[in-house]
Amino acid sequence: MAITLAQDTIEQSEIADLCTWMQANNRLTKGPLCVAFEEAFAQWQGSKHAVFVNSGSSANLLMAQALLEAGRLRNNIIIAPSVSWVTTVTPFMQLGFDVKLCDCDTQNLGLDIDHLEQLCKEYQPSCIILVHVLGHANHMKAINDICDRYDVVLIEDSCESLGSILDGKKLGSIGLAGSFSFYYGHHISTIEGGMVVTDDTELYHIMLSIRSHGWGRDVPKDVHASWQADYEIDEVRDLYTFYYSGFNLRSTDLNAYLGLSQLKKLDAIAKKRAHNAERYAQNLSDFWCQTSDVSLLSSFAYATFVENRLQVYQRLKDADIESRPLICGNIGLHPFWIKRYGKASFAHADQVHHQGMYLPNHYHLSDADIDRVCEVVQEVAKPFDLD
């Protein structure tokens, strides 16, 4: 039986319930269920506000544009992780930011603290976006200290860490804003979807506007009225007045219906993923293991390093087991980056790029499945440690 990297979290009973709901509702676009899902998610996450969008990538784009529109940045320089995802970085490139990549930490694969400090000294950035890689927290105390000393805004790409907890707070709620993904194979799924959380009410209102073209319809009535007064917009003109440079990043009530259902089992999903990661670590004790200070690891996948990655990949494939590179390696070695900036090599991120891989972890994975994966890996893999 095949062991896949991910399995859908949407059960047949949820599909049946969704079909029944759709037959009784003729409005499937963004509506009251989106608002209900946002409120429920914000409460679960421990944040004041949440904005539901059509993907985790759009969530990052929304954070980037909102920071610009809110005037929170003193310059256009941002530091991003070399070990991340393409749409962690590209929204900032597309919006005209000057992006500087930071090498990865050898324990949690987040930002390397020494390199981050060096970049802040040299470039005086206005913003840092980090990624909590595969559910593991960055060295947040050190990063927050750097942000305080260099007056830097911190935002979190938490698309791989939904449910992980550090010092009593869920990852994604530590910085000014945090993003999440509800794509197939992530912790929960709304088919396509994502979320931004923030405790900053002004930024929240701007994001509500930017998500829907830049108009004022979705913000609270008193805020909307103040915008109208500021620009002397009458009631008719306001129907199609755009207060910010926006996009259409909206999701739908159909997706929100699934989100509300999925949210009910998210705690159980996070705990199961944590259990799976622990079993992998026990079985593969001779191999490098990702570590961080989280009290609950809502593991996205199990990461390790091998000298002979292609051979291990092919052996797993022959055994009907999926595996893949560790996220996408070093962003600085991808064609899209090279075409713009030239190659960007880093001591540790390059090792991730060439030796890193990750193994399946999802809610439906059994202990027997994990044991089978580990047995096959151990047949051929040669352990590799980050320098």
Q: What CATH number has the domain bearing residue 257?
A: 3.40.640.10
Note whether 259 and 270 are same-domain residues: no
Is 170 within the bounds of a domain? yes
Please tell me the predicted confidence (pLDDT) of residue 25: 86
Please tell me the predicted confidence (pLDDT) of residue 18: 94
Task: Evaluate whether 139 touches 105 at the Cβ level (below 8 Å).
Answer: yes
Is 385 within the bounds of a domain? no
Please tell me the predicted confidence (pLDDT) of residue 296: 98
Task: Evaluate whether 10 touches 258 at the Cβ level (below 8 Å).
Answer: yes
Note whether 222 and 271 are same-domain residues: no
pLDDT tier at 50 (50, 70, 90 boundaries)? very high
% residues pLDDT > 90 (the chain): 98
Last residue of a domain, one of 263, 296, 329: 263
Amino acid letter for position 11 = E
Please tell me the predicted confidence (pLDDT) of residue 142: 98
Is 227 within the bounds of a domain? yes
Please tell me the predicted confidence (pLDDT) of residue 27: 83
Note whether 235 and 272 are same-domain residues: no
Rounded mean pLDDT of the chain? 97
Cα–Cα distance list, 225 to 51, 205, 209, 231, 319 (Å): 21, 13, 14, 10, 62
Distance of CA 357 to the CA centre of its chain: 19
Note whether 23 and 156 are same-domain residues: yes
Please tell me the predicted confidence (pLDDT) of residue 186: 96
SS3 of the chain: CCECCCCCCCCHHHHHHHHHHHHHCCCCCCCHHHHHHHHHHHHHHCCCEEEEECCHHHHHHHHHHHHHHCCCCCCCEEEEECECCHHHHHHHHHCCCEEEEECECCCCCCECHHHHHHHHHHHCCCEEEEECHHHCCCCHHHHHHHHHHHCCEEEEECCCCCCCEECCEECCCCCCEEEEECCCCCCCCCCCCEEEEECCHHHHHHHHHHHECCCCCCCCHHHHHHHHHHHCCCHHHHCCCCCCCCCECECCHHHHHHHHHHHCCHHHHHHHHHHHHHHHHHHCCCCCCCCCCCCECCCCCEEEEECCHHHHHHHHHHCCECCEECCCCEHHHCHHHHHHHCCCCCHHHHHHHHHEEEECCCCCCCHHHHHHHHHHHHHHCCECCCC
% residues pLDDT > 70 (the chain): 100
Note whether 92 and 201 are same-domain residues: yes
Mean pLDDT value of segment 374-382? 98
Is 126 within the bounds of a domain? yes
Is 386 within the bounds of a domain? no
Is 282 within the bounds of a domain? yes
Note whether 209 and 74 are same-domain residues: yes
Note whether 87 and 73 are same-domain residues: yes
Note whether 270 and 258 are same-domain residues: no
Mean pLDDT value of segment 111-127? 98
Note whether 244 and 286 are same-domain residues: no
Query: What CA–CA distance (Å, rounded) separates 222 from 227?
Result: 9
Amino acid letter for position 41 = F
Note whether 295 and 242 are same-domain residues: no
- The pTM is what? 0.97
Q: How many domains does the chain have?
A: 2
Mean pLDDT value of segment 248-260? 97
Return left, alpha or beta for 277; rule: phi > 0 is left, psi -120 to 50 is alpha, else beta.
alpha
Last residue of a domain, one of 231, 263, 295: 263
Query: What CA–CA distance (Å, rounded) separates 328 from 168?
Result: 30
Give per-residue pLDDT as tens, 138-196: 999 999 999 999 999 999 999 999 999 999 999 999 999 999 999 998 999 999 999 99
Is 225 within the bounds of a domain? yes
Note whether 253 and 278 are same-domain residues: no
Distance of CA 335 to the CA centre of its chain: 22
User: Does residue 26 surpass a pLDDT of 90?
Assistant: no
Query: Which domain does 315 fall in, by range?
Result: 266-380
Last residue of a domain, one of 263, 283, 318: 263
pLDDT tier at 387 (50, 70, 90 boundaries)? confident
- Domain CATH number, residue 326: 3.90.1150.10
Query: What CA–CA distance (Å, rounded) separates 306 from 217?
Result: 53
Segment among 14-28, 101-115, 131-145, 150-164 with least mean pLDDT: 14-28
Please tell me the predicted confidence (pLDDT) of residue 357: 98
Note whether 270 and 250 are same-domain residues: no
Is 2 within the bounds of a domain? no
Query: What CA–CA distance (Å, rounded) separates 276 from 263?
Result: 20
